[in-house]
Structures are given as C-alpha cells and as structure tokens.
A and B are shown apart, each in its own frame.
Chain A
Amino acid sequence: MTSIERGRRSGVSPEDPLVKGLARAWGLQRPWAQLIFKLGTGTTAVLSALVVVLICVFLTVFAWPAIRFNGWNILTGTIWNIGNQYGSGSITHNGYSAEPGAQFGGLVFIFGTLATATVAMIAAVPLAFLVSVALVYRVPARIRPLANALVELMAGVPSVVYGLWGMVVLVPWIGTKLAPAATAHLGFLPIFHGDAGSGNGLLAASTIIALMVIPIMVATIRDVINAQATSVYEASMALGSTSWQAVTRAVLPSVRNGMIAAIMVAFGRALGETMAVLMVCGAAINTYPQNIFQSVNTLAAVIVSQLESALTDSSGMAQRSLAELAVVLFAITVVLNMLARGILRGADRSQEAQ
C-alpha cells in the first residue's frame, strides 16, 4: 500500500454525510455557488503559478544585458569585480558595456551556496530524524506537548536572531577555541588543514542553517512517524528487536518518502537563507575556503551585501549581474525540486513493485 493509497483511505470522500451536510448548510450545492467556488479556486490556482512564472520572467528580462555581457563567466568565473567606478572609459562585450575592469564570476557564490547547505544538511538530517523518533517514542506523554511546542518555537525564531547569536557567541568560539585546536591537532584531515581564520565561515554558516532547518524537518518527520510507523515500531519490538533495531530497520524505511520530502523543503530553505548567513559567513569574495573554518559567501548573501554599491554603478551592469545571480539561485532551487520529485516518484514505483 503506497502512502497515497493510505491517504485516500483515511481521506474524506465527497459522499461523506458530514461533507454533504456542510455543503448544504453553506449553500454550496446551488449552481451559482458551485460556479463561484470553481472560478475562485481556479483563479487562485492559476495566479499562484503565474506569480512564480512572472517573477522568473521579470528577473530574466532585467538580467538580460548581464546574461549577454557575462556569458558563461557567471557560472565558471571566480572573480567578482563591479569595475572601477571612478576610472575612465568602459568595456563592452556582446554589445553591452560595464565599467573598466568589471567581471562578474559567480562560481565562488554558487559553491558557497551548495557547500553551506550541504554541510548543514549532513548535520541536520540525522539530528532531525533522531529528535523526531525521540519525540514520538521516547519523550514521556506528560511533557510531550511541551517538547513539541519548544521544537516548533525554534522554527518561529526570526533568522536574524540566530545570526546575532552566531555572531557574538558561535563565531568567537570557533575562531578562538575550536578552529585553532582543530587545525593544530587534526590538520592532517583536509577539512581542518590550513589557517584557522576568524571563525566567520563555512562551519559557522552551516551550523546556523542547520539550527534553522532542524525544526522544519522535525515537524514533518514526526507527523509521518506518527501517521505511518507507530504500529511498525510496536510490531518490531514485539518480535524482539532492540529499540535501535526497531528504529533503524523498521521505522526508517517506512518513513523514507516523508524524510525525502522533509529534506527537500529544508534544503530549499538552506539554499535561500540570507541574513543570518551573511552575518557569520565572512562574506568571502574572489576566494574559496581551504578548510571548513574559512570564509565563504552564498548567492543570497552576496545579492544583499553587493546591492548597495551596485546602485552606484553608472553602467547598471552590477545590478543586472546581481539579478542574474538571482536567476541562478532560482534555477538551482527548481532543479533540486525536480530531482526530489523524481526521487519520490521512483521510490513510490519501487515500493509498488514490491
């Protein structure tokens, strides 16, 4: 039985007497009400899709001069330079000009976006799964509502609060304690090799992102476990497995689809998180981190931090190149979303085959 079938079984049918009663009470069975309802839902459905398309079209149109000017350099170049605003002359490429010395390479930011999100997910996924398991099976029923509320509260904390905490507590701790110790004693590992830096960087940004996405994942995974795996866990325990075996061998496989969905939502959030990341990432420019402690920069963070000076670019190419970075971020999110859908569909099919 797939999750969808299970949903259909427990779902509400239009023949349900309760639904029929409600519809009658609201006058929804009258033809004009039906029409208004159809039109209303239809319009909003189309509108919500249209908004996404329009944003994409607007961004692409606005970024078009930059797309022509930069060519593939936006994806492959590592140097970001809005050009000498106070110099003389200008440079022209494919019919579009920018200030002298300008080049807009976005690879550093694309790398930083994927790296911070990936490291964050590596830490957050197992934690979120374990927290969900604990909330469902381990936390005593008496304090469960409180524990759930606390986790949900984590999701409600504004991201800039995480950023501020990261800036005044986490970053100094990494910079003065963790990074010097790790580079000194574990320097033989590539991720700890090299200069310790200041604490602002990949690890700080990923930690903050992980803290922000864990509650999002926990909310989904916990509900999936509650809905699908309570009996599986009990059955597994009844067959004599340890609770670790029950969780890893029985619960985990049965909530796999829910996990993947939760991971994708969280990954999308991780890619786009802006302010908190900007506050702790070290805003690297023209450089990649040599280890996990050094400065990085993400697409979202660089758009915010460079916008101010891009406004003073008289050629306008800096603003348009930032818009092109937004298009790239948009494209990354769409591609990952499609990948996730593909995985889910594949998983559904393989389950059906069993």
Chain B
Amino acid sequence: MRKSLITAVAMGLVLATASTAFAATRMLETGSTLLYPLVNLWVATYQKEHRNVQITTQGTGSGTGISEAIAGVAQIGASDAYMSNGQMKQHRMLNIPLAISAQQINYNIPGLNNVHLNLSGPVLAGIYSGRITYWNDNAIKALNRAYASRLPHKVIIPIHRSDGSGDTFIFSQYLSFSTPSWKNGPAYGTTISWPTVQTAVGANGNPGMLQTCKATPYSIAYIGVSFLNETNKAGLGYARLKNRAGRFVLPTTQTVNAAAATLVSRTPRDERISLVFAPGANSYPIINYEYAIVNPKQANPATAKELREFLNWAIDGNGGQKPYYLDQVHFRPLPASIVKLSRSQIASIS
C-alpha cells in the first residue's frame, strides 16, 4: 500500500518535470461574444496541429477584451469595435482585423415577418428616438408602398443592448452617418445615452436581443449576423436597409463583399476604420471588421512568436479564413489587401 503510494508520487513528479520540460506556451483570448464561437472553432483545430501552444478562450465582452489586453492579462483581446483615439493615446495597441461581420435589423410583426420591409437610417433613428411610434407611420409607409395597407397600427417596441456592445457601436454608427440629428445627439459608441422612448427595452447580449424580440410582438432589434440561423428559426423578419447610394439591400455575401470592397482601399495602416454606410450601389450599410486587440510588446519572445504564428494562421486563406470556419458564423473573409496590412502589423509584435 505504502509502496504503491510512493510509486504514484514519484511518477507524478516525473510527469510534472516532463511537462515543464516541454512547457506549452499559454495564451489567453478574451472579449467579444460575437467572435467567441469563431475563435473556439479556430483554436480547436489549431491546437491539434500545434501541440506546443495552449490557447484558452473566453467570451467576456469587447470592453473586457480591450482592457485585459492592455493590462497584459490576455494576449488577444477580441473586440467588435476598434479602439478610440483617446484610448490609443494612452495605450498604443494593435487593432488587427480577423474577419468581416455584418448586422441585420430584425422585427417581429405578426403577418409581416415573411417579407423584407425597407428601412432607412433616418427612419430607424426616428423609431429609436421616439419620433416614429407606430408601425403604420407615414415615414415607414413611404418606404414600403407594397405593404402600406398591411402595416399595423401598433406601438413599436425598440429593443437595444443594455450591455456595452460592438453591435450598438455599428448600429449607432449607421444612424450617425445617415442622420445628422442622431450624429449631434446620441452619436455612436459601444454604449450610448439612448433617447427617452417609453416602450423601449434594454436586453443583455445578442441572445437577450433575440429572446426579447421573439417574445415581443411589434418589436424591432439589431442583431449580429452570426445569429442569423437563430433569428430565422425564431421566425423573425429582417429588413432591407437603405445604403448611401439610396438603394435598399439585404445582407448577403454579395452586398457585404461589395461594401467591404469600396472601403478596403481606404483602410489606414493601423486598420482602425469604420466600414459602416459604405458607398456603392450594392453595398450593405452595416458591416464591420472584427478585431484582435494585441499589445505590440509581449512579455517574452516565445509568447510573441507563438502569437504571431497563430494570428498569421487565423488570417490565412488556407487557415482560419477557410469557409469551413467563417460560414458557420456568417462572417466574410478578409480581402487580400487587408490580409497584407494585418501581416505587417502582426510582424511588429515582439
């Protein structure tokens, strides 16, 4: 009995030394809940081919991702929004795009969920600021001549995120860029000071948005495209949105790619740019880069090396950008010129 115990302890010690001898490089990815499912898919495959790295993933929210990357707790902070100038002034971090995401405007109007209503930035701004309160408001009718008689005289219930969110960021950018009164009022950010609307509801996370919209007839919500399967299953309608060129477009592979194509040439070297309300006749107006927020100065060279390797794999056409990964969450791959910019940013990690 005692002998076997000693053997067990000895074996444990041997194993412990062995594992330190081949110490895996540990990395933590934390942040955006929109990116979380994708990073999980990536990491599962990546670790099979790279047994020397151990990557832990967490879905904690973009704000936490950024602040933990700054603090050095996490090596990769996942964020739906790029860092503001104010933040960059205090902490020079890299904002590296990993994929392109989009957002749909969902609604729950019994009888009309099977059609795509036309909505525009100014009309959405009107709904979210309480100027447009009924579904059969003239402003909505004017955009939907074909369904004008079917729009019900029911109070609109606008749902917004109660937590800080990249989805709020790009939605409020669409309103700001298309509607001057919104730009001078609530403006945009990961959380904004929502105008007073008596029927408005705040929901927590994309799952909360989905649940509230599903459970509340005559509500409207903005939900990340990675929830498209769920919103379709819930029977919610989603809108054609008016783009900068004045056309109404659905979020499809073509319209998202078209929007990205018009803006990639303008992406600066630090890659902090909004893709919202892009020009182009066929551009879907609410798309964005999903970012890895990374400190260019890592704790040790080994971590820096593994981090560069993983990020380069993630943005590679034969790696993380394969349709196998991106299609599952309805993200679009990065265009070649953006991959090039990202590679040069990744190379600066030391």
Residues of A in contact with B (beta carbons under 8 Å apart): 79-82, 84-88, 90, 99, 101, 167-168, 171-172, 175-176, 194-200, 278-279, 282-287, 289-290, 294-295, 297, 305-312, 314-315
CA distance A294 to B195 in the complex (A): 15
Also in contact, A84 and B189, with CB within 8 A (given A285-B194, A308-B164)? yes
Interface of A is mostly: loop
Q: Mark B224-240, 1 if CB is under 8 A from A, else 0.
A: 00000000000000000
Chain A residues whose C-beta falls within 8 Å of the C-beta of B37 in the assembled complex: none
Residues of B in contact with A (beta carbons under 8 Å apart): 61-64, 66-67, 81, 83-87, 89-90, 155, 157, 159, 162-165, 187-204, 208, 211-212, 215-217, 219
Most A CB within 10 A of own CB, among B89, B162, B187, B203: B162
Partner of B202, one of A172, A199, A295: A295
A169 CB → nearest B CB, Å: 10
Closest to B88 in A: A314
Chain B residues whose C-beta falls within 8 Å of the C-beta of A167 in the assembled complex: 208, 211, 215
Does the CB pair B63–A175 fall under 8 Å?
no
Partner of A194, one of B67, B189, B198, B203: B198
Does the CB pair B193–A312 fall under 8 Å?
no
A73 CB → nearest B CB, Å: 14
Contacts A82-B193, A308-B62, A314-B84 given; 11 further ones with Cβ under 8 A?
A81-B193, A85-B87, A101-B187, A167-B215, A196-B155, A199-B216, A279-B204, A283-B203, A295-B202, A305-B163, A312-B81
Does the CB pair A305–B193 fall under 8 Å?
no
Does the CB pair B219–A198 fall under 8 Å?
yes
Chain B residues whose C-beta falls within 8 Å of the C-beta of A314 in the assembled complex: 84, 86-87, 89-90
CA distance A172 to B211 in the complex (A): 10
Also in contact, A198 and B196, with CB within 8 A (given A176-B217, A305-B163, A314-B84)? no
Does the CB pair A172–B86 fall under 8 Å?
no
Does the CB pair A198–B162 fall under 8 Å?
no
Partner of B200, one of A88, A284, A306, A315: A284
Closest to A90 in B: B86
Does the CB pair B64–A311 fall under 8 Å?
yes
Chain A residues whose C-beta falls within 8 Å of the C-beta of B198 in the assembled complex: 194-195, 197, 287, 289-290, 294
Chain A residues whose C-beta falls within 8 Å of the C-beta of B192 in the assembled complex: 81
